């Protein structure tokens, strides 16, 4: 873990220097967020995510980063998120889940701690959670059919959907006023307890999606059918959820 932390620190400092060279005084904040902060980071698999907050003048020059994209990708850095302070402040009601997840798990690399003072509305969170969960439900059904029962495709579908699903479950814990753990597996466990979901099912899903699971005997059809039922249940819970 020590080597991983050192690598992330080195990548962060190099990235910050490049952003500073590109934008100079137009840089307001450089922030690392996501799995590299929560402890879910897997070297060689997980992305390193950065939020770069620029002035209006700086954001008008974001095409200047193009020469750096290949070297960032080689270091595991995904395409950074470039925003302005004004955009963030005016978008908290549109993307409350995304900003809540950033605010809960980030490292300030340089500049103003722009996430610290954000106020996230619970009603806005509930509305986005409802929309997103129903969207995931539709996608799970459609991709389950499209997979034709392919173990490889279903394994990837489960892995991708669980990663995105954890972000929504963090938001639902926040709505309930519950503590939000850092790591994904702990978030899922806490949300299952809070909303009476089947934690055993999510444990089986995570095990089936693990790249190291190989040819373990998994009935993916039964697993997906149970997954869809549980997401349907969660969708109904959100429909009736009262926000204080």
The pLDDT value recorded for residue 58 is: 98
The pLDDT value recorded for residue 244 is: 76
Token pair in block for residue 22: 């590109």
The pLDDT value recorded for residue 20 is: 96
Contact 110, 20 (CB under 8 A): yes
Contact 32, 106 (CB under 8 A): yes
Rounded CA-CA distance 10/91 in Å is 31
The pLDDT value recorded for residue 117 is: 85
The pLDDT value recorded for residue 2 is: 60
The pLDDT value recorded for residue 213 is: 61
Mean pLDDT per 10-residue interval, the chain, length 244 residues: 83 96 97 91 89 98 96 95 97 96 94 94 96 94 95 91 89 94 92 96 91 73 95 94 84
Rounded CA-CA distance 78/95 in Å is 20
Rounded CA-CA distance 77/19 in Å is 13
| Residue 202 DSSP SS3 | helix
First to last CA, the chain: 40
Q: Does the CA dihedral 71-77-81-84 come out positive or negative?
A: negative
Token pair in block for residue 25: 């005084």
Token pair in block for residue 66: 């193009």
| Residue 196 DSSP SS3 | coil
| pTM of the complete model | 0.86
The pLDDT value recorded for residue 42 is: 84
Token pair in block for residue 64: 């200047």
The pLDDT value recorded for residue 214 is: 60
Rounded CA-CA distance 147/206 in Å is 19
Residue 183 backbone phi and psi in degrees, to 5: -75, 150
The pLDDT value recorded for residue 88 is: 97
Rounded CA-CA distance 129/57 in Å is 34
């Amino acid at each position: 873990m020590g080597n991983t932390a050192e690598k992330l620190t080195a990548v962060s400092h190099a990235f910050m220097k490049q952003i500073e060279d590109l934008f100079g005084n137009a840089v307001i904040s450089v922030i690392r967020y996501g799995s590299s902060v929560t402890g879910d980071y897997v070297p060689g698999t997980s992305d390193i995510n950065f939020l770069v907050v620029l002035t209006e003048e700086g954001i008008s020059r974001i095409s200047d980063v193009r020469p750096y994209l290949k070297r960032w990708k080689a270091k595991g850095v995904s395409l950074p998120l470039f925003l302005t302070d004004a955009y963030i402040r005016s978008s908290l009601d549109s993307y409350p889940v995304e900003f809540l997840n950033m605010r809960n798990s980030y490292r300030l690399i340089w500049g103003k701690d722009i996430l610290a003072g954000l106020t996230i509305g619970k009603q806005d969170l509930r509305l986005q959670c409802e929309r997103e969960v129903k969207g995931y439900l539709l996608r799970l059904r459609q991709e389950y059919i499209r997979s034709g029962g392919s173990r490889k495709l279903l394994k990837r579908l489960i892995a991708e959907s669980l990663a995105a699903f954890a972000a929504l479950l963090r938001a639902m814990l926040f709505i309930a006023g519950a503590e939000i753990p850092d790591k994904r597996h702990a978030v899922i466990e806490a949300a299952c307890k809070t909303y009476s979901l089947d934690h055993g099912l999510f444990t089986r899903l995570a095990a089936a999606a693990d790249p190291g699971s190989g040819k373990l005997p998994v009935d993916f059809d039964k697993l997906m059918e149970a997954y869809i039922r549980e997401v349907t249940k969660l969708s109904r819970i959100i429909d009736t959820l009262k926000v204080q």
